[in-house]
């Protein structure tokens, strides 16, 4: 396996803006990094599960990918629009309970199963870089853990940025949420241009 292209692809794809990274930054802006770790952990576990599913079911997915991709794209775009609307409508004075619903482990985990970026990332990474060279269950499991760990690193870095600039971002709450909401809407539109 060519490790440099593999790692370059994994890190560039993981660290570029997407629903995981934007939501972790927004959560850290609201709650700080420590409270956002639940969401980040959900993203990491979900990414590892998606990577494992892509590894172990690559042939099945390849046979049905065109029909699955369309429905996942619809579902993922709808979820991103829902998240964008929540961001655009968020008010600084919401109760902590209302705001924490989107900052849970389960929210981070669930996002991975409707996030076309992660699903297509898993399929592409596994089919291009992993399966041509590795076939044992243990190696596929280890690569899934690696992809989950990189997901943890990327969402953590975005969350740390949000936590560091928490006061500044809170001061410009409306503008920040508008930009993040519009970026999520843009991500939803981009799903259909691929």
- Let me know if residue 162 belongs to a domain: yes
Q: What is the pLDDT along the chain (194 residues), one digit of tens a residue?
A: 778 888 888 888 888 778 899 899 988 988 889 999 999 999 999 999 999 998 887 756 556 666 666 676 676 667 667 777 877 787 765 545 545 566 789 988 988 988 888 888 888 888 888 877 888 889 989 999 999 999 999 999 999 998 888 788 778 878 877 887 787 677 667 666 65
- Let me know if residue 191 belongs to a domain: no
For residue 30, what are the domain limits?
3-68+91-175
Q: What is the pTM of this model?
A: 0.74
Tokens for 126? 């596994």
- Let me know if residue 180 belongs to a domain: no
| Residue whose structure tokens are 């998240």 | 83
- Let me know if residue 76 belongs to a domain: no
- Let me know if residue 190 belongs to a domain: no
- Let me know if residue 185 belongs to a domain: no
Angle of helix 33-56 versus helix 116-125 axis, rounded to 10: 50
Q: What are phi and psi of 95, to 5 degrees?
A: -70, 155
- Let me know if residue 20 belongs to a domain: yes
Find all residues with CB under 8 Å of 167, minimum gap 6, and list them. Answer: none
- Let me know if residue 188 belongs to a domain: no
Query: Looking at the 3D structure of the chain, how many domains does it have?
Result: 1
């Amino acid at each position: 396996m060519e490790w440099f292209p593999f790692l370059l692809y994994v890190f560039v794809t993981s660290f570029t803006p997407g629903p995981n990274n934007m939501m972790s930054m927004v959560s850290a802006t609201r709650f700080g990094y420590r409270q956002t770790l639940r969401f980040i952990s959900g993203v990491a576990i979900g990414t590892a599960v998606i990577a494992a599913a892509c590894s172990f079911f690559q042939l099945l997915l390849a046979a049905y990918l065109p029909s699955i991709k369309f429905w996942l794209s619809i579902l993922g775009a709808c979820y991103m629009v829902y998240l964008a609307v929540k961001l655009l409508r968020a008010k600084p004075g919401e109760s902590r309970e209302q705001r924490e619903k989107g900052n849970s482990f389960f929210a981070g985990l669930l996002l991975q199963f409707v996030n076309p970026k992660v699903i297509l990332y898993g399929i592409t990474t596994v089919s291009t870089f992993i399966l041509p060279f590795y076939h044992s269950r243990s190696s596929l499991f280890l690569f899934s853990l690696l992809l989950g760990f990189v997901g943890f690193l990327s969402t953590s870095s975005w969350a740390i940025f949000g936590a560091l600039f928490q006061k500044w971002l809170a001061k410009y709450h409306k503008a920040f949420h508008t930009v993040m909401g519009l970026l999520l809407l843009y991500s939803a539109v981009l799903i259909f241009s691929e």
